[in-house]
A = this chain, B = another copy of it.
Amino acid sequence: MPRLAPLSGFPEWSPSQRIVEAQLIASLREVFALHGFAEIDTRAVEPVARLAGDSDAAKEIYTLARLRGVDKAGGEREEASLGLHFDLTVPFARYVEERQGELDFPFRRYQVQKVWRGERPQDGRYREFYQADIDIVGRDQLPAHAESEVAIVMAKALAALTASVGAPQARMRCNDRRLVEGFYAGVGISDVASALRAVDKLPKIGADAVKRELGTLEVPAQAADAVVALAGIAAQGAALGDAARSAWHVHGAHGEQARELFDSGLVALMSLVDAVNAELPGTATGDLSIARGLDYYTGAVYETVLEGHEDLGSICSGGRYDSLVAGGGFPGVGMSIGVSRLVSRLLTTGTASASRSVPSAVLVAVVDEHTRAASNLVANALRVRGIPCEVAPTAAKFGKQIQFADRRGIPFVWFPGELGDQVKDIRSGEQVDADAAVWMPPAADLWPTVVRG
């Protein structure tokens, strides 16, 4: 047998930690469903040719092989070409393409599943982790308001986590590809993608280094100053529009086409930021430094950080794209939460923990093995009324049975008695007469809850 040390990059939680993760996922699912998103669940594998289309991800793909014993009917060939999905977008795109004749568009879907990436594990970066995605995809067109809608649903889903599992407040930073591309064109930069890769390093290497790198790309110093200045803008409401338009003028951007593109992006971005903040005040900022994903996204682009945990990077990102599938058509907008990264941070910082390690609100004590059936009856009477409980495994002394409950955080111990039952709150020690057909624990004790801090 191999060593038992945990595998780096493959997180697993204790039973009580899993309660936090499960409640977080349940909370997300509820918000998505309340907003009319339908769930899909896709297979874990895709043809490697489909996965490897994105060259950055290709080196992280886990491919499958059979240990031994291969189908006669060419099974090996088929399986040798399969890999584990590294995100939920590739399988979603394939699902939509495969079922385009039967799905109704715009198609609003959510998906919460594990994904696998063979990257070097580090804090908050895993090889196996849960993602939670929402997307709205049209067949041939998708109204602009979908860009606000997806951001609002995700902002609400994250806000709900603050209530359900004590997650820190989320701050959404938004940008728009058209705004950036229009501005870059306006100041005379033609290779927008390369320039964006340089600007993307701004938080890490600082403005001077970015300008030097832009210089190596033959971006004129004036234009480099301009795009670094643009990236310095982070604002909401009218201030966002003022700052962006001022940057256009101050840096001498020009050109009718460029200006039109810039304006269309700015109007869309302001509308997006306003729409999110109208529902969740102060949540969204127009942050013109966001460059990640602008090579792929064609409109809105989103990143989300948790207050006080900015070092974790974005825990929820996405954007608007022209076509979900390679053949064109199917424009959409989507965002993805890195669930495991978020859960891990909540757990390891002690921000969230479960009130107990088992579902049971009640341990039904066993007086002696001959009366175990009576204890089972009590447990069943509680369960039919929705009260999770378990029966003591042995007829140990009551002190031992109370210890059994205490170690697991079970708040109540039930004592069946010939002359009537009693139930004890083992936290307060209070013990009262009780009838299994009517007694209810306080609502807060019924199921395990997630405790903050």
Question: Are the C-beta atoms of B40 and A18 separated by less than 8 Å?
Answer: yes
Question: Are the C-beta atoms of B52 and A61 separated by less than 8 Å?
Answer: no
Question: Are the C-beta atoms of B118 and A66 separated by less than 8 Å?
Answer: yes
Question: Are the C-beta atoms of A15 and B38 separated by less than 8 Å?
Answer: yes
Q: How many Å lie between the Cα of A388 and that of B48 in the bound state?
A: 37
Q: Mark A30-69, 1 if CB is under 8 A from B, else 0.
A: 0001111111111111011110110000111111111111
Q: How many Å lie between the Cα of A360 and that of B4 in the bound state?
A: 46
Question: Are the C-beta atoms of A41 and B63 separated by less than 8 Å?
Answer: no
Which chain B residues border A52 with CB–CB below 8 Å?
67
Question: Nearest B residue to A357 by beta-carbon distance?
Answer: B38
Q: How many copies does the complex hold?
A: 2
A1-39 with Cβ < 8 A to chain B: 1-2, 4, 6-7, 10-15, 18-19, 21-22, 33-39
Q: How many Å lie between the Cα of A143 and that of B391 in the bound state?
A: 12
Which chain B residues border A21 with CB–CB below 8 Å?
41
Which chain B residues border A249 with CB–CB below 8 Å?
none
Partner of A59, one of B37, B38, B66, B386: B66
CB proximity of A394 to chain B, nearest CB, Å: 6
Which chain B residues border A149 with CB–CB below 8 Å?
391
Tell me, yes or no, whether A83 is within 8 Å of chain B by CB.
yes
Question: Are the C-beta atoms of A372 and B1 separated by less than 8 Å?
Answer: no
Question: Are the C-beta atoms of B47 and A2 separated by less than 8 Å?
Answer: yes
Which chain B residues border A123 with CB–CB below 8 Å?
none
Question: Nearest B residue to A33 by beta-carbon distance?
Answer: B359
Question: Nearest B residue to A6 by beta-carbon distance?
Answer: B98
Given the known inter-chain contacts A45-B128, A94-B4, A99-B14, please indicate yes or no for A389 contacting B36, CB distance below 8 A. Answer: yes
Question: Are the C-beta atoms of B359 and A79 separated by less than 8 Å?
Answer: no
> Which of A42, A44, A387 is most buried by chain B, counting CB atoms within 10 A of its CB?
A44
Given the known inter-chain contacts A6-B98, A15-B40, A67-B61, please indicate yes or no for A383 contacting B47, CB distance below 8 A. Answer: no
Given the known inter-chain contacts A2-B81, A36-B360, A39-B18, please indicate yes or no for A63 contacting B59, CB distance below 8 A. Answer: no
Question: Nearest B residue to A2 by beta-carbon distance?
Answer: B47
Question: Are the C-beta atoms of A12 and B67 separated by less than 8 Å?
Answer: no
Q: Which of A106-114, A167-175, A186-194, A234-242 contacts B (4 or more CB under 8 A)?
A: A106-114
Given the known inter-chain contacts A75-B120, A104-B357, please indicate yes or no for A4 contacting B67, CB distance below 8 A. Answer: no
Which chain B residues border A436 with CB–CB below 8 Å?
none
Which chain B residues border A37 with CB–CB below 8 Å?
358-359
Q: How many Å lie between the Cα of A146 and that of B63 in the bound state?
A: 41
Which chain B residues border A309 with CB–CB below 8 Å?
none
Tell me, yes or no, whether A408 is within 8 Å of chain B by CB.
yes
Q: How many Å lie between the Cα of A97 and that of B3 in the bound state?
A: 11
Question: Are the C-beta atoms of B15 and A390 separated by less than 8 Å?
Answer: no
Which chain B residues border A388 with CB–CB below 8 Å?
33-36
Tell me, yes or no, whether A407 is within 8 Å of chain B by CB.
yes
Which chain B residues border A95 with CB–CB below 8 Å?
12
Which chain B residues border A65 with CB–CB below 8 Å?
62-65
A268-304 with Cβ < 8 A to chain B: 279
Q: How many Å lie between the Cα of A64 and that of B80 in the bound state?
A: 10
Partner of A120, one of B7, B11, B71, B98: B71
A73-104 with Cβ < 8 A to chain B: 73, 75, 78-79, 81-84, 94-95, 97-99, 102-104
Partner of A83, one of B67, B99, B128: B67
Which chain B residues border A7 with CB–CB below 8 Å?
43, 45, 78, 82
Partner of A44, one of B35, B99, B114, B372: B114
Tell me, yes or no, whether A250 is within 8 Å of chain B by CB.
no
Given the known inter-chain contacts A69-B59, A83-B67, A357-B104, please indicate yes or no for A50 contacting B118, CB distance below 8 A. Answer: no
Which chain B residues border A44 with CB–CB below 8 Å?
44, 114, 116, 128
Which chain B residues border A106 with CB–CB below 8 Å?
393
Question: Are the C-beta atoms of A15 and B326 separated by less than 8 Å?
Answer: no
CB proximity of A85 to chain B, nearest CB, Å: 12
- Please name the 8 residue pairs, one residue from A and one from B, whose CB atoms are nearest each other, closest first: A36-B390, A59-B69, A36-B360, A33-B359, A10-B43, A15-B38, A2-B47, A61-B67
New A-B pairs, 7, CB < 8 Å, besides A12-B40, A44-B114: A7-B78, A19-B39, A33-B388, A36-B360, A45-B128, A59-B69, A61-B67
